[in-house]
């Protein structure tokens, strides 16, 4: 079963998210994606951020590890790392999400969300939203 990696990028009291509109739903996800065969998680996350966001990311500590609860990816390992943008141009990604003819449906929009508004949005998975909010509450 594939492994997925996600970046938690926080700058200036904002978190970098991808706003999804799919199947009539609106929700947010953290940038990242699937680890390819032979890839190390941290390398995969750097590659995914370059493809999806157009930026180079320094992968920092692992914040959380969990198994997916979504029906279509049930049991899949998911790793959430703190990250920091160290180069590139946000929004210049050229990954398959941005190209026609791939199996991606719906829309993707890169968005900085104020941390103070994080509790009010539908960030998936819900478990990581709770962890980020708890971490912020303990730091503040």
Indicate whether 82 pLDDT > 80: yes
Count of alpha carbons within 13 Å of 15, Cβ hemisphere only?
23
Indicate whether 105 pLDDT > 70: no
Indicate whether 98 pLDDT > 90: no
Each residue's pLDDT tens digit, 14-54: 999 999 988 889 999 999 999 999 999 999 999 999 999 99
Number of structural domains in the chain = 1
What CATH number corresponds to the domain at position 28? 3.90.79.10
63 confidence band (pLDDT: 50, 70, 90): very high
**Bond from prior residue into 125 cis (ω within 30 degrees of 0):** yes
> How much is the pTM?
0.89
- Give the range of the structural domain holding residue 29, as residue numbers without chain letter: 4-139
């Amino acid at each position: 079963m594939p492994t997925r990696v996600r970046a938690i990028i926080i700058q200036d009291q904002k978190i970098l998210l991808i706003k999804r509109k799919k199947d009539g739903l609106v929700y947010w996800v953290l940038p990242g994606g699937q680890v390819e065969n032979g890839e190390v998680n941290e390398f995969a996350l750097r590659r995914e951020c370059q493809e999806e966001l157009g930026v180079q990311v320094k992968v920092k500590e692992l914040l959380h590890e969990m198994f997916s609860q979504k029906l279509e990816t049930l049991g899949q390992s998911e790793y959430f790392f703190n990250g920091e943008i160290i180069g590139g141009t946000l929004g210049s990604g050229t990954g398959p999400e941005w190209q026609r003819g791939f199996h991606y449906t719906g829309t993707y929009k890169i968005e900085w969300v104020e941390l103070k508004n994080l509790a009010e949005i539908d960030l998936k998975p819900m478990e990581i939203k709770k962890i980020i909010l708890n971490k912020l509450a303990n730091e503040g």
